[in-house]
Structure 1
Amino acid sequence: MDKKQETMLRDLQAMDIFLIDLGLYLDTHPCDKEALALYKKYNEQNNKMRSQYQELYGPLTIRHADGVDYWQWVADPWPWERLGG
């Protein structure tokens, strides 16, 4: 995994955690319009980031693997194969 791919993946992971936390907040504060606006804004940004990542590196999950003939991630080295060369 090159540096750009790693950075994009970590940014997506951070955004996912942020959205989960904000969603949990909204479960207990459903009338907080400011929080809801933030959720919508960052969810849209997250979707764009995910699309950009998947255009460059392939699907992140099985849900996003539409239209492929095989699971692309099985062609890449497994994490333990990357460690230590």
Structure 2
Amino acid sequence: MIGQAAKLWAEALGSVIDGEFDVLTKADAAQLRQDAAEAPDGTRIVTLYDRTDHQRATPLLVLTVGKTDDVTIDARQLRKFLAQ
């Protein structure tokens, strides 16, 4: 009985992950990071949205990540984000 319940939970979890997320292997993620770091200026923009903002119309926070993985952010934007 417990083994069957665990199997059902695993199948349900797998279904949710497959339906809601794009799954990357660690190797793929590492390659994407390396490619971004080797970009001409190495700058990446990371935009955070609320999960209910399906149209991605209102960003909560925008981070500029440099080649050294240092993050630059507008202090006003950070205060606004923290006040929510």
TM-score (normalizing by structure 1):
0.33
Question: Which of the two has higher C-alpha Rg?
Answer: 2
Higher relative helix content: 1
Higher relative contact order (CA 8 A, sep 6+): 1
Higher relative strand content: 2
